[in-house]
Structure 1
Amino acid sequence: MNHVLCGLAANTALPSKLVDRLIAVADADIAADLACRADLSHDQAVVLVSRVEESAVRLAYKGRLTAADIDPAAQPHAALALLNDRARSPEWARLLAADPVVERREKLAACSGLPSDVVEKLAADSDIRVVAELALWTTPEVAARLAGHPHAEVRRAVAANEATPQNVLAALITGEGLAPALQCLVCDREETPFVHDQQCPRLDCDLLPGASCDGTHESAMHDMQEAALRNPATPTEAVVGFADHPSMLLRWALAARPDLPSEVCRRLAVDPTPGVRADLAENPAIDDALIRVLASDRGQDVQRRLAHNPHVPLDVLTRLAGTTRIGATLLPRIAAASPVEVEELAQSPNAAARMLLAQRRDLPAEIRDALATDPDARVVKSIAAHPGLSEAQLRTMVDRHGVRVVTKVAANPDATPALLEDLARHEPSVQKAFRAVARHRNATAPALFACLEDKQARPVAAGHPALPPPVIVELLTDADWQVVEAAAANPSLPLAVMSDLVP
Structure 2
Amino acid sequence: MSHGPRTAEAVWAAADLPARRLAGVALNPAAPTDVLLSLLDRGPAVVRTTLCRDRELPAEVVDAVVVHPDHRTRGSLAANPHIEPAQRARLVDDPHWLVRARLADGPRPGARSELPEHTVVRILTTYEAEHLGSLYRQVPRSARWTFPSHPEPKVRAYACTWWQELTAAERSALLSDPDQEVREHARSRHSLLDPEYVERELPDRSCHARTHLLMHGALSRRTVAQVLTAPAGPEDLSMIAGNPSLPLDVLALLARHPNARVRETVAGRPELTAPQRQALATDPDPAVRTRISVHPALTEEERAAIDYRVDSDRDFGPGDLPAWHHDPGQSRRRALSDHPLLRRLAAQDRGLPPDLVERLSRDPDLGVRVLLAQNHPQAPAELLLHSFLDYTGHGRWLLTDRPDFPTEGLAGHAEAADPMLRRLALLDPRIRPEITERLSADPDPTVRADATRHPNLPQHRLTALLDDEELAHEAAANPGLPLAVMRRLVVALDG
| Cα deviation, residue 458, structure 1 | 1.2
Equivalent residue in structure 1 for 2:228, among 222, 244, 247: 244
| Cα deviation, residue 22, structure 1 | 1.0
Superposition TM-score, scaled by structure 1 size: 0.56
Q: Which runs of 5+ in 1 are unaligned?
A: 97-104, 120-138, 146-157, 182-216
Check the 8 A contact 2:100/2:131 in 1, yes or no: no
Distance (Å, rounded) in 2 between the aligned partners of 1:90 and 1:236: 33
Structure 2 letter corresponding to 1:494: P
Structure 2 equivalent of residue 10 of structure 1: 27
Check the 8 A contact 2:267/2:292 in 1, yes or no: yes
Q: What does residue range 308-387 of structure 1 map to in structure 2 within 5 Å?
A: 314=300, 323-326=309-312, 327=314, 329=316, 345=338
Structure 2 letter corresponding to 1:246: A
Equivalent residue in structure 1 for 2:451, among 423, 442, 462: 462
Q: Which runs of 5+ in 2 are unaligned?
A: 1-14, 80-84, 106-118, 137-151, 159-177
- Asked whether 1:230 is paired with 2:240, we answer no
Equivalent residue in structure 2 for 1:268, among 254, 264, 268: 254
Q: Per-residue displacement from partner, 1:178-225 (whole Å, max 9, x unpaired)?
A: 8xx9xxxxxxxxxxxxxxxxxxxxxxxxxxxxxxxxxxx7438x6534
Q: What does residue range 26-425 of structure 1 map to in structure 2 within 5 Å?
A: 26-36=43-53, 37-39=55-57, 41-48=61-68, 50-51=69-70, 53-60=71-78, 63-64=87-88, 66=90, 70-71=94-95, 75-81=96-102, 86=120, 88=122, 106-107=130-131, 142=181, 164-166=189-191, 169-175=194-200, 218-219=204-205, 223-231=208-216, 234-235=217-218, 244=228, 246-247=230-231, 248-257=234-243, 262-282=248-268, 286=272, 290-297=276-283, 299=285, 301-302=287-288, 314=300, 323-326=309-312, 327=314, 329=316, 345=338, 388=380, 415=406, 417-418=408-409, 420-425=410-415
Superposition TM-score, scaled by structure 2 size: 0.56
Distance (Å, rounded) in 2 between the aligned partners of 1:110 and 1:423: 42
Name the larger-Rg structure. 1
Distance (Å, rounded) in 2 between the aligned partners of 1:340 and 1:106: 44
Q: Per-residue displacement from partner, 1:325-365 (whole Å, max 9, x unpaired)?
A: 253649999x97877886774xx9xxx79997997896669
Check the 8 A contact 1:445/1:467 in 2, yes or no: yes
Check the 8 A contact 2:22/2:476 in 1, yes or no: yes
Check the 8 A contact 2:196/2:220 in 1, yes or no: no
Structure 1 letter corresponding to 2:483: L
Structure 1 equivalent of residue 11 of structure 2: none
| Cα deviation, residue 17, structure 1 | 1.0
Distance (Å, rounded) in 2 between the aligned partners of 1:384 and 1:277: 33
Structure 1 letter corresponding to 2:25: L
Distance (Å, rounded) in 1 between the aligned partners of 2:300 and 2:467: 55
Check the 8 A contact 2:268/2:292 in 1, yes or no: yes
| Cα deviation, residue 246, structure 1 | 2.9
| Cα deviation, residue 23, structure 1 | 1.4
Structure 2 letter corresponding to 1:78: V
